Amino acid sequence: MSRSDQGAEPALIYEPRLLPSESQAHFRVMREAIVAELKPRCAIEEMWSCEIIHGEWETQRLRGFKDLILTSARRPALKSLLSIVLNASGAADIDDLAERSFTNKGVRNKVTNILRKYGMSEASIDAEAFRHCLFELGEINRRLAELSSRRDKNLQLLEDYRAGLARPRHPAEGTAVMISGDDGD
């Protein structure tokens, strides 16, 4: 009788080390959904399931990091845009405008008007932030591609493993097996 037939919770090969900002409850929900879908039946299947679970958690983490990286780059991006349009005159003013634009509605309106005058908008700040973070985002995207490939490989291994378990490994009893050079005498 397999573990899933017994109704026992499959043992996890290893528990994750979540970051302080991450939710154990969210991880548990994701883990339970994947385990319910894969229904690991033995330790080998549990290992592949754990690899898939942890890879998916890292994928979610990295996607969130991309957003956070872009958001944190908005202030330097705005400073860069203001430096360009204001011809780097009065660096202290540019720093002050960039800093206060995110906390003061009046300053934000002033900055919006300055940007609009040069054909730019909020989207220009986001684009500049993206440009500032291109290397880091590229590294994250590369890791996301690796995780996706690894997940697909683990799913294929799990499927192949299960298909292999379904086939008999030895010839059925009572079936004659001919060995080369053996003529039955």
pLDDT at 87: 78
Of 7-11, 139-143, 163-167, the one with minimum mean pLDDT is 7-11
CA 158 to chain centre: 21
pLDDT > 90: what percent of the chain?
A: 69
pLDDT at 6: 45
pLDDT at 28: 92
pLDDT-derived band at 86, boundaries 50, 70, 90: confident
List the Cα angle 43/155/20 in 5-degree steps. Answer: 75
pLDDT-derived band at 15, boundaries 50, 70, 90: confident
pLDDT at 93: 85
Which of 92, 67, 78, 88 has its CA nearest to residue 121? 78
Residue 98: pLDDT over 50: yes
pLDDT at 89: 61
Report the chain's mean pLDDT, rounded to a whole number: 85
Q: Which comes out higher in pLDDT, residue 2 or 120? A: 120
Residue 70: pLDDT over 60: yes
Residue 8: pLDDT over 90: no
Global confidence as pTM: 0.73
Residue 158: pLDDT over 60: yes
Delimit the domains of the chain by residue range. 24-65+149-166, 74-132
Burial 54-66 (b: 16+ CB within 10 A, else e): bbbbbeeeeeeeb
CA–CA distance, 73 with 131 (Å, rounded to integer): 9
